[in-house]
């Protein structure tokens, strides 16, 4: 039985990878001081996280197809908590990076397996509408995460943040044991990995979806990587950075509500995606122009609005042709875009330019979005 309690828990698990990183990001300045490293080096704890996350997405997706959704979630959450404990014990920066990779590997289960559970139960436009509805809840996670992270750092520093993250993973693990049913179809047949990988590697529409998901995520997480240091340069502390999450959440909530309204009006998915790409591009240019003042937060709301419009649509449509192997296909899909996110954030840490990063990401989104929109129209035309 997949009831309301299970749906709430799956929503929390979908929020988990995003909220833990937004809780973590205010600690970057404290990490920089504690380990006596530069801002660029501290930012690498985010980029290596996404590399570990990419590997975890592949592993847990495949694991969930073989052994079930519940075991994958339980093992992944336990791994995340173990990584946090290792980070707490770290006395040199290299060990912290290793701990972050381990945590990322575990956290990936919250992304790929939760999405797979939803794909087990829903499909097509219904799935896109469900992701959009969940986007209303997910919209508050950046605000909650950044605010909580800022408050924890102000009171207990980076070690307080890591302790809180370990406890959060433990609570979710216990709730999964209690509330989450197994959703893997009983007639499930394990799919050969390499033939599926070859098929997906030659799927042009899927490649475009990978680029789009990566570009929107690099836009969002470049803020969490660079903004703590921007606020420090503007003589604002971690608490002020925490409050900035409220502005971003307003943008996310507006995007999620707008997306839901457009879907109810039966607006074509391609049109919604192109509108999101346009909002992202205009907002990126505005952030670049206002980067030296706190006013840059206003167009950053446009970035989160575009993200909330595009990501549910992309996640709901990208794997429509892979219903027979949802876990493994979702794992390969996630691996591809998280590798790109990790590489993108590594470049962000090196370049240390929020506005420049946003413009490059938005340009990629617009080009890929035009082509993916054509693919969506062709798919919908073929289905009628």
- What residue ranges define each of the domains in the chain, with the CATH number in brackets? 4-383 (1.20.1250.20)
Residue reference for tokens 């909330």: 308
> What are 318-359's pLDDT values in tens digits?
887 786 677 788 888 988 998 898 889 888 878 889 999 999
pLDDT at position 124: 64
Give pLDDT, residue 139: 66
pLDDT at 278: 97
Q: What is the C-alpha to C-alpha distance for residues 39 and 56, in angstroms, rounded to an integer? A: 26
Residues of the chain under the 70 pLDDT cut: 1-2, 123-125, 128, 132, 135-136, 139, 187-191, 238, 323-324, 380-384
Give the Cα separation of 56 and 184 in Å (integer): 19
Tokens coding 362? 């938005």
Burial class (CB in 10 A: 0-12, 13-18, 19+), 36: exposed
What confidence score (pLDDT) does residue 189 get?
59
Q: What is the pLDDT of residue 166?
A: 96
Distance, in Å, from the CA atom of 359 to the CA atom of 340, rounded to the nearest integer, reads: 17
Cα(154)–Cα(235) distance, rounded to whole angstroms?
A: 15
Q: Give first-to-last CA distance, the chain, whole Å.
A: 32
Query: Helices then strands (H, E): number in the chain?
Result: 14, 0
CA–CA gap between residue 333 and residue 200 (Å, rounded): 8
Length of the chain: 384
Tokens 């042709």 label which residue? 321
User: Smallest Cα–Cα separation from 373: which of 267, 251, 257?
Assistant: 267
Alpha helices in 265-325 (DSSP H): 269-289, 297-317
Identify the pLDDT of residue 219. 94
Task: Output DSSP code: residue 188.
Answer: -
Q: How far apart are CA 9 and CA 1, in angstroms?
A: 14
- The Cα–Cα gap between 102 and 67 comes to 21
- d(CA 50, CA 337) in angstroms, rounded, equals 10
Looking at residue 272, what is its pLDDT?
94
What sign does the dihedral 358-362-368-369 (CA atoms) show? positive
Q: What are phi and psi of 182, to 5 degrees?
A: -80, 130
Distance of CA 208 to the CA centre of its chain: 17
- Write the burial class of residue 91 (CB in 10 Å: 0-12 exposed, 13-18 middle, 19+ buried): exposed
| 152-160: long-range contacts, CB 8 A cutoff, minimum separation 24 | 152/23, 152/26, 152/27, 153/26, 153/27, 153/29, 153/30, 153/238, 154/237, 154/238, 154/239, 157/27, 157/30, 157/34, 158/27, 158/30, 158/31, 158/34, 159/88
Q: What is the pLDDT of residue 100?
A: 94
**pLDDT at residue number 384:** 54
The sign of the torsion formed by the CA atoms of 306, 349, 19, 178 equals positive
Other CB atoms within a 10 A radius of the CB of residue 185 amount to 11
């Amino acid at each position: 039985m997949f009831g309301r309690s299970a749906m709430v828990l799956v929503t929390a698990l979908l929020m988990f990878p995003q909220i833990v990183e937004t809780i973590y990001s205010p600690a970057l300045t404290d990490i920089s001081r504690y380990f006596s490293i530069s801002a660029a080096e501290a930012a690498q704890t985010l980029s290596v996280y996404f590399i570990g996350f990419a590997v975890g997405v592949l592993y847990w997706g495949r694991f969930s197809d073989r052994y079930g959704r519940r075991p994958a979630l339980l093992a992944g959450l336990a791994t995340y908590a173990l990584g946090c404990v290792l980070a707490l014990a770290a006395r040199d920066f290299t060990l912290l990076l290793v701990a972050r990779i381990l945590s990322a590997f575990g956290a990936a289960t919250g992304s790929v397996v939760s999405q797979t559970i939803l794909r087990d139960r829903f499909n097509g436009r219904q799935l896109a509408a469900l992701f959009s509805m969940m986007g209303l809840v997910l919209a508050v996670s950046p605000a909650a995460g950044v605010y909580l992270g800022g408050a924890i750092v102000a009171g207990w520093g980076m070690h307080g943040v890591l302790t809180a993250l370990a406890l959060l993973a433990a609570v979710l693990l216990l709730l999964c044991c209690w509330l989450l049913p197994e959703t893997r179809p009983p007639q499930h047949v394990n799919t050969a990995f390499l033939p599926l990988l070859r098929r997906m590697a030659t799927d042009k529409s899927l490649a475009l979806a990978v680029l789009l998901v990566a570009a929107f995520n690099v836009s969002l997480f470049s803020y969490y990587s660079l903004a703590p240091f921007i606020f420090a340069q503007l003589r604002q502390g971690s608490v002020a950075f925490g409050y900035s999450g409220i502005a971003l959440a307003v943008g996310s909530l507006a995007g999620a509500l707008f997306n839901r309204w457009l879907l109810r009006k039966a607006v074509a998915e391609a049109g919604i995606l192109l509108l999101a790409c346009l909002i992202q591009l205009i907002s990126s240019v505005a952030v670049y122009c206002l980067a030296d003042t706190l006013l840059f937060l206003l167009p950053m709301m446009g970035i989160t609005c575009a993200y909330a419009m595009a990501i549910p649509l992309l996640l709901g449509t990208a794997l429509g042709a892979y219903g027979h192997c949802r876990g493994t296909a979702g794992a390969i899909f996630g691996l591809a875009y998280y590798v790109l996110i990790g590489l993108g954030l590594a470049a962000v840490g090196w370049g240390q330019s929020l506005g420049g990063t946003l413009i490059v990401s938005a340009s990629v989104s617009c080009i890929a979005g035009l082509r993916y929109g054509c693919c969506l129209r062709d798919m919908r035309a073929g289905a009628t």
